[in-house]
Structure 1
Amino acid sequence: MTIPVFYSISDDFTKYAAVSLNSLVKNSNPENDYTVIFLNQDLSKEHEDQLAALGNDHVHVEFFHIDEKLVKPIQDRKENYLRADFFTMSIFYRLFIPDLFPQYDKAIYIDSDTVVTDDIAKLYNTELGNNLFGACTDSSIQYVDKMVKYIKDVPDLDPKKYINSGMLVLNSKAFRDEGFIAHFMDLLEKYHFDCIAPDQDYLNEIGDGRILHLDPRWDAMPNENTEPLPNPGLIHYNLFFKPWHFDNVQYQDYFWKYAKETPFYEELRAELDNYTDEERSEDRAKLDHMLEKEDSTVVDPNNWAHVKAKGERIKL
């Protein structure tokens, strides 16, 4: 039996994904077998080779090209912008994993801006029961009043139960058996819900009531309002505060520890050194821009809350 772990990346995210992959490999158990699959549309052969070289005898690295026809209904439009800032198709790839890989009844998905500091097999061994997936509460938004208000007013969900989609333990069999993708596509094409985090909002809504909330150590995020966790199993450099753009980010030592062992270390250090204070200010301003979306979505007659109030079936 192999433990399937999926990433979804665009070519320009390869160097960060390499750090995450290296950390996963270094903390893997040689008595287990792991298959790491990178979902992509534009990964260069050079980058494929560099990522593959980070694997070993028990961690196999593979690549899967996402067919344009598969994701064509997901359009480049403002409702699907990540953080109300830009469009990236790769955020939606994770939703298709169960259907694209029917040989797996369970799978792990993790974002590329992560480091894995414990054996990912421990996460895979989570018993999901009848839940659609396991994930961690999104700790990055708990101290952002406007984001909390958005979750209450627009998705009409409990912010304390609103999960981050950067780490998922997928009940792939349930996704397939219950038609998750067909339901997702139907909602997407019918309503084009205006979202701050599109894939994440859809997962929270469709999975409402059937999400297993996991120990927060499996999605530890830098947060200026809290102390770092003492024993993170997976660190997720969520939102705008990346250790390759900002110094003194929580958990940054973990990132640089594993970055040093990749062919991208010098490039990553140069990116940090050359990132300007003006760019950092712009990054912080993007958070305010993201939160402005709450003002428009809360009055949208087709937002999640209004559609649910009309009796539309949202959750599986």
Structure 2
Amino acid sequence: MKTIPVFYTISDNYTPYAFVSIQSLIDHADPKKDYTITLLVQKISDEHKKSLEGMSTNNIHVHVFHIDDDMVKPIHKGKENYLRAQFFTMSIFYRLFIPELFSQYDKAVYLDADTIICTDIADLYNIEIGDNMFASCPDLSIRYMPLLQKYIKECQGILPAEKYINNGVILFNMKAFRDKHFVDKFYYLMDKYHFDNVDPDQAYMNEICEDKIYHLPKEWDAMPNESIPEIENPKIVHYNLFFKPWHFADVQYAHYFWDVAKTTPYYNELKKQLADFTDADRKKARADLEWMAKKVDMIVAEPNTWAKVKQHESVKID
């Protein structure tokens, strides 16, 4: 039986959220289909590894994969690689290497760990995307946040800004990534220009694959957004940016998370995280959005922005 490959990339402290996400996937999986779930990590405790791999069933196989240090060595802890202007985590880049690391697959699904799956993930896997490099949803938050509009237009140089995708949910054309040597292009651009971004991995995928991205319907990546009502019947909920249900009780789509979380061994730990997250913590999380705005202004002034480089060199894969 052909397996449906699904990938996550996590750090050890994200184990509880990954567990809840995988449980939601299992809850909606077809017992007549086969699924292989692989979690890419650099370091993970034995306890967490056992916990995650213990989720395996007869038709769902969960594995922890230790990513090779040499592959990520060129990615240094420079300021340009800090996620959303505030912290650095190597795991955000792991997804870029999935097609190279798993050459046995020509197609695969990638999911961020802060997602809840509300349908059979095979429905996403079976979408035909032609010769596009990957499929993802345009990031709806961009059209309601002037600072992100400015970032996409003036720093990234992608127009219209609304076509900029969020890469928390990806349907990979794995073969195309290998055939087009995506990783080589990524390393070349990163080493030559050291682009400063608020979303390092996502920026590279948008730029290198521009015009070769299949846009999925918005239901496949429903994200909390205070500017718009919840999307009805989302297929995947993605708690993007700073407003996580384990930190904010009133975040949109929170019930999807807690309905699954309460069935897992991490429920009490997650409820404690919510209780321990103070008003001061919540204020700081909202202030991070203001820091993003300042970061965008700094990036615009950089000598090498994507928009400036594209005036004299193509960054896209042909």
User: Same fold by TM-score, threshold 0.5 exceeded?
Assistant: yes
Q: More displaced, 81-90 or 55-64? A: 55-64
Corresponding residue of 1:48: 49
Q: Deviations over 1:91-139 (max 9, x none)?
A: 0000000000000000110100111011000000011111000000111
Cα separation, 1, equivalents of 2:271 and 2:284: 20
The offset of 1:311, in angstroms, is 2.7
Match of 2:212 among 205, 210, 213: 210
Corresponding residue of 1:119: 120
The offset of 1:83, in angstroms, is 0.4
Corresponding residue of 1:29: 30
Corresponding residue of 1:197: 199
Corresponding residue of 2:264: 262
Which secondary structure does the structure 1 equivalent of 2:310 belong to?
helix
Cα separation, 1, equivalents of 2:143 and 2:16: 29
Letter in 2 for 1:29: D
Match of 2:239 among 233, 237, 241: 237
For 1:136-151, list aligned pairs within 5 A: 136-151=137-152
Corresponding residue of 1:274: 276
Cα separation, 1, equivalents of 2:58 and 2:178: 31
The offset of 1:17, in angstroms, is 0.5
- Name the TM-score, length of structure 2 as normaliser: 0.98
Are the counterparts in 1 of residues 153 and 161 from structure 2 also a CA contact under 8 Å? yes
Q: Which 4+ runs in 1 deviate beyond 2 A?
A: 311-316
Which secondary structure does the structure 2 equivalent of 1:20 belong to?
helix
Are the counterparts in 2 of residues 25 and 55 from structure 1 also a CA contact under 8 Å? no
Cα separation, 2, equivalents of 1:58 and 1:140: 36
Are the counterparts in 1 of residues 182 and 317 from structure 2 also a CA contact under 8 Å? no
Cα separation, 2, equivalents of 1:214 and 1:151: 19
Cα separation, 2, equivalents of 1:28 and 1:267: 26
Cα separation, 1, equivalents of 2:38 and 2:171: 15
The offset of 1:140, in angstroms, is 2.4
Corresponding residue of 2:286: 284
Cα separation, 1, equivalents of 2:187 and 2:70: 13
Are the counterparts in 1 of residues 155 and 305 from structure 2 also a CA contact under 8 Å? yes
- Name the TM-score, length of structure 1 as normaliser: 0.98
Cα separation, 2, equivalents of 1:141 and 1:13: 26
**Which structure 1 residue ranges, 5 or more long, are not aligned?**
none
Are the counterparts in 1 of residues 16 and 266 from structure 2 also a CA contact under 8 Å? yes
Q: Percent identity?
A: 52
The size of the alignment, in residue pairs, is 316
The offset of 1:315, in angstroms, is 3.7
